[in-house]
A and B are shown apart, each in its own frame.
Chain A
Amino acid sequence: MALRALVAAHAQSAWNRSTRQLTRGGRNLALAFIAVCWGVGTLGFSTAMLALGWAAGRDLDGRGLTLAGATLFALSWGLGLMFGLTGSGRLLEVGQLKAYPVRPLTLLFAELAARAAEPLTLGCIMGLTALHVGLAVAQPGLIPRLVVMLAVHLVVLLGAQFVLGELLAAIARRARIALVLVGALAMGFSPRVAAWLDGPRREHGFERLLRLTDSVRYLPSTRLLGAPAGGWDALGRLCEGLAGPLMLLLIGAWVMGREHTAHAAVATEREKGLWTFDSPDAGIARLHLSTLFRTPLGRYSLVAPLFAMVMVPWVMQMLFHQQRASLAVFIYAALGTVQFHFNLFGFDGPAVAELFRLPVSSATLLRGKHLAVLSLALLEGAVLAVFLRLVREESSSECIAGLCVFLTINLMMATLGRFVSAVWPRTLSRSGLRGTAPPLPVVLVNLFGTFAIAGSLGLTHWLVMHYAPAYVVPWGVGALLLGAAVFALTLKPAAAFLEARREHVLLSMK
């Protein structure tokens, strides 16, 4: 059967890719450690969900329904959309499958199955399943309904990330439309508009919370779970609950079908003139920048933080009634830009051999790559700062401090990333958004690194704002200088590290 063959081929190549790297050194040990971490994390999460499901199931007529409905919705739609927003594009190499007679729906299901095997998603699936099991244990009578609900939620979790990812990719491919969209959203979500909408209702935090819990009643998950045992109402709610996943499947199949029959777009880039550069590192940087601007993935990385800067303040305002959001915006946006630090040679792919055969030292290579990624970050940070100052009317000092934090995070991530790039290099697709999911170790390094760096910056920022708000700018500049010092001091050891691993990088890029 085609579906089995597709999933098997994907699994085999993913497995082979990761074990190719395993042969050398004691990396088995590292992977075992990571697997244990993942296992413990997932186990903890699943147990918590099981308990939550059981507790909520015991009180389905009261607050339990709200709790279960909200959690189910958050774990399916919420996480699905979040992964779609932040995550990788298509996993399956659809372009390569064009020659074979496979149906779009088969492709879609293969893609969803491949997604389900991603470590983070798999953890979420286990948590989601545990939640349903917990509910079933508390309410054995609801088991048939819970089986349907589990299927619905799994499809939503997987389908939503695929569809949203594709949508964002399509928007990102048309950079001009994306910018107009961001502009319109920015205006729509500016504090004045929000204040006008919020206008007469001046509620306290508690009232807001009540209104929020009240609205949980209308979520499809809650309505399905709380449906009566029979009758037209039950049927109506079932249809309602199935509408979401069905819609996702339809859109997904349509996207796959389009992709499957599409002809490869010929890249007839206009000759942008022969560019010039003076030093080898500038040449490497110029090359890297031009690649970033020409690949969908690179463009997407530029647009995604812009979306974030619109979304984050809006979420902060809706949830916490918090007007000032600059630090959150900067930290979130920094997370969006860091992925390229962690795979400096990803876009070169096999062509990294071209760079390695040139008479340039590893230090030059690193400097050039950093120059490109960091100048992009600087540009993005500056746009963010201007936006926050002019549209969101945040204070200048907060904007400057935020920009410093943004750059510090980027510098620290670059420092970390040049080692990661030499240990876990992988080819990034230059023609689509496919196969960008980093290996688990990189995800973990990214996650922990980010938490450590962003956490410590956030904490000290809070302290400064609390005790000496006048010093927020010097604080930001200080953090930036510290970051820059660490960045500069580790360049030499990083270059030596890369020099010793050139062959590893080259052989990993196939």
Chain B
Amino acid sequence: MNALELFGVTKDFGAVRAVHEVSFALEPGSLIGLLGRNGAGKSTTLKMISGLLQPTAGRVEVLGRDVAKFPLETRRDVGAMPEEMALLDMLSGPQYLRFVARMYGLDTKTADARAAELMDRLELLPPRGTVIADYSFGMKKKLALSSALIHSPRLVVLDEPFEGIDTVTSRTIKDLIALLQARGVTVVLTTHVLEIVEALCPRVAIIEKGRLVGFGPLDEVKRTHATLEGLFLELVGGHRKGELSWL
């Protein structure tokens, strides 16, 4: 059974086709980096995996179950960190983590213990009583990551987990992701920092204008191209633009 499988997934927003017949499969314990330019369709793909958006065509299966048919069961198994990070920002961090954990069915004691451990590990140290709305960007990011992990999910989707994160925490998150993978958890993440993918992800997927244009182990990439950047630029066809006319 695959941990995650996409069957010709397509998503339209009105006339805009954001994702175009994307198919791939991941076995349990995979770790994949999803790459692509701004607006390529990465976040939309992740939202369809976590069940927030419905594919216009095709289907997503998580742990062998159709997401559209078993929404509750899927949500229980998935931990998601969306890119917008619109958290329940009238709560304080600990309140929020407890709320989320309790909704996943953890008892209060376990919830608080896990929340404390996560906040300690990620060095998330908000002043007592501050509501999330007043957290810094990086603090929100850490909190969102904590809430994606607190219920020990079997599939984790992280949209840009390293953006806006300090170097120390970045290393902690990398360690966490490696640990997740070692424990058989499947992880899908997106990022614009190719070095992180090269160092962390055994496998990459490249998406361009909604289509999957590259998918495979990093080793294979290394065989044909000197760097991941070289392959990426080749696949998405980026070239330099001129100067600004008024500067």
Contact = CB atoms under 8 A, between A and B. Distances in A.
**A and B together in one complex:** yes
Contact of B54 (A270, A275, A287, A503): A503
A290 interface: yes
Contacts of A23: 14
Contacts of A274: 94-95, 98, 112
B215 interface: no
A207 interface: no
A468 B36 CA distance: 75
Interface stretch (A47-55, A146-154, A261-269): A261-269
A182 B90 CA distance: 28
B104 A357 contact: no
Given A23-B14, A361-B72, A275 B95 contact: yes
Nearest to B80: A357
Given A274-B95, A275-B95, A358-B75, A353 B104 contact: no
B89 A277 contact: no
Contacts of B75: 357-359
Contacts of B54: 503
A354 interface: yes
A223 B95 CA distance: 60
Contacts of B88: 287, 348, 351, 354
A293 to B, nearest CB: 9
A81 B130 CA distance: 38
A483 to B, nearest CB: 30
Contact of A503 (B53, B86, B94): B53
Given A271-B128, A503-B53, A359 B95 contact: no
Contact of A358 (B14, B92, B103): B103
B39 to A, nearest CB: 16
Contact of A269 (B73, B100, B131): B131
Q: What DSSP secondary structure best describes chain A's contact surface?
A: loop
B27 interface: no
Contacts of A267: 131, 133-134
A20 to B, nearest CB: 9
Contact of B102 (A266, A270, A283): A283
Given A280-B102, A287-B88, 6 more contacts: A266-B134, A271-B128, A274-B95, A353-B52, A358-B75, A503-B54
Interface of B: 14, 50-54, 71-73, 75-76, 78, 80, 82, 84, 86-92, 94-95, 98-100, 102-105, 108, 112, 128-131, 133-134
Interface of A: 23, 266-271, 274-277, 280, 283, 287, 290-291, 294-295, 348-351, 353-354, 356-361, 430-431, 499, 502-503, 506
24 contacts: A267-B131, A267-B134, A268-B129, A269-B92, A269-B131, A270-B129, A274-B94, A280-B103, A287-B91, A291-B90, A348-B88, A353-B52, A353-B82, A353-B86, A357-B52, A357-B78, A358-B103, A359-B75, A359-B103, A359-B104, A359-B105, A360-B72, A430-B90, A431-B133
